[in-house]
Amino acid sequence: MFGIHKRRKVDGASEVDLDKLVTPFLDMSFQLMAFFLITFKPQPIEGQMAINLPKAEDAASASPKDPTISDPEVEPPNEFRVMVGSANGAIRNITVKGDQQPVPWEVGSRPSELQAYLSKRRVQQDDKNVVKIEAQDSLKYECLIQVMDACIAAGFKSVGFANPTKGDPTAGDAAPGN
């Protein structure tokens, strides 16, 4: 290694014992290794989740759709509004409302139930699947990410947030899910 030979004649007169040169090198290497071993702390791998920024005003109220006007060229988005109620920061209840589901539908309190519900209602074109999460203001960010995760896993890549509500947005006339 490094072209080091154990013994080399210098000017044919004196000999340098390279073993003695290697020893401090080895010592130093061990010191470095010990330092890195002690300070080694693997970090968890971070990932990214893209979101749609909240609209300044509700698009539906700004430009109300006229149901009598049909545009065959433009397919309407498959949009759902996911309402999440909170109890001490955790998910209390999830209710879904959308074009396919005009009456709010209670899907349960687990993100997996939401995922199962949404995955049955997604359309083939990914960009048409849109979800807007309307959550209670006290909901923990961890739970919000769980809901968002369920939506993305169900094929709804376009996720946005509606204004947080003071009270439980799911409280009302939601039909109980199965």
Partner 1 sequence: VGGGAVGEGGECKPNFMPLLDMVLQLVMFFMICANFVMDQMDEKVKLPEAQSAKAMDSKVDDYLILNVDDKGAVLKVKDDPYPLRTQAELATFFANQAKTSQKDGEGNVKKLLIIRAHKDTTFDKVFLILQAAKAAKFKAVQLRAIKGG
Binding-site ranges for partner 1 (CB under 8 A): 1, 4, 6, 19, 22-23, 25-26, 29-30, 32-33, 36-37, 39-51, 53-56, 89, 135-142, 144-146, 148-149, 152-153, 161, 163-164
Cβ nearer to partner 1, comparing 9 with 20: 20
CA atoms within 13 A on the CB side of 50: 3
Closest C-alpha to 49, from 168, 144, 164, 167: 144
Smallest separation (angstroms) from partner 1 to the CB of 94: 14
Smallest separation (angstroms) from partner 1 to the CB of 93: 15
Cβ–Cβ < 8 Å for 132, 79: yes
Residue type, 35: F
Smallest separation (angstroms) from partner 1 to the CB of 52: 8
**What whole-number distance in Å separates Cα of residue 116 and Cα of residue 121?**
9
Cβ nearer to partner 1, comparing 30 with 99: 30
